[in-house]
Amino acid sequence: MPEFPSANVVITGASSGIGQAIAETLARPGAMLVLAARNADALNAIAARCRDAGAQVTVIPTDVTDAAAVQNLAQQARVFAGTIDMWVSNAGVGAVGRFHEVPIRAHEQVVRTNLLGHMNDAHAVLPIFLDQRFGTFVNVISVGGFCAAPYAAAYSASKFGLRGFSEALRGELSGHPHIHICDVYPSFVDTPGISHGANYTGHRLSAPPPLLDARRVAAAIVNLLAHPKDTVMIGSTAWGGRLVHMLAPAMTARIMNRILTRYFATADAAATTDGNLFAPAADEGHIDGGLRSRPRSRGKRQTLAVLTVFMALGLTAFFRRISHASTSTRTPDSDASRETSAEDE
């Protein structure tokens, strides 16, 4: 973990997973942390651990889909800390299932949380940043901001939209050199998000390896305090997925659909559930989702397999483009000139 300064940081979605990992990574003497999420009990348990590490912490239960509540969060955070060095916009939910089989209210709630919730965060804190003339806003997006995920259409829509939102904000704020909009794109992370999420497939959910430790993602986010960057990719599959989608987006989505369809055909049965879409998860917060408990050697083989697929897809798309470009160089004008030459002979 690189050294970083103690800071005043607001974290939404702090009740488990990446948000909890960020809070515990930041916790040290001199740090002032504002933890926000819907689950007050989970937040209080995490706050107690952070206080034990020397940080000053306040808990403000907040639903990021409520714009007025987020404005209140920002004002209370400023009163508590005086200034806000970083705001980590991390709240997120998911709903898995074929688009037409998922209730439309579930799709709407995913977009409200994952896109409008982050917009509410930015709308509340940017005036504070502009007033104090500095600050870092971090959007935790995921590789889903580049690669569409079949069976998670609303999630994909929200993450693609969030990437565009961040790019627009960076443009607007380009005249403020000490205000930063940073996007973080981790690949699949082992958090309780899978077990907490809505499931309309009728089958048990899991996540494809290799899975990142949420603490690694937290360390990368905390590092943005001292070294802000526009874009941070975390994990080999995040880089591979971004490259392959750039070269062959349609092919990527088709292959993902085949993989997921085959998985659900053999996965154990599970009850349909709204998960934490409309109410917070009942359990106390945890960083880990328990999905990485596989033998290391098997994990390495799976990692290699995923990377091999990405490389194969990328190379296929690359050579297809080269082939298309070479055939398109035969323009009507060049064909006509060759015919004229033949007639002259």
The amino acid at residue 92 is G
Q: Are 211 and 234 in contact (CB under 8 A)?
A: no
The amino acid at residue 109 is Q
3-state SS, residue 161: helix
Helices 117-132 and 67-81, axial angle in degrees (round to 10) = 30
Residues in CB range of 208: below 8 A, 6 or more apart:
188, 259, 306
* C-alpha closest to that of 86 among 128, 58, 50, 51: 128
Does the active-site annotation cover 155? yes
Task: Give the phi and the psi of residue 169 in degrees, each rounded to 5.
Answer: -60, -40
User: What is the H or E stretch that residue 40 is in?
Assistant: helix 40-52
Q: Are 107 and 95 in contact (CB under 8 A)?
A: yes
Alpha-carbon gap, residue 192 to 16, rounded angstroms: 7
* Token output for 124: 């509340």
Q: What is the DSSP string of 314-345?
A: HHHHHHHHHHHHHHHT--HHHHHHHHHHHHH-
* C-alpha closest to that of 53 among 107, 6, 87, 105: 6
Q: Which of 151, 155, 185, 200 is catalytic?
A: 155
* Token output for 329: 């160089």
Task: Give 229-264 as a 3 state SS string.
Answer: CCEEEECHHHHHHHHHHHHCHHHHHHHHHHHHHHHH
Alpha-carbon gap, residue 154 to 188, rounded angstroms: 17
Which residues are part of the catalytic machinery?
155
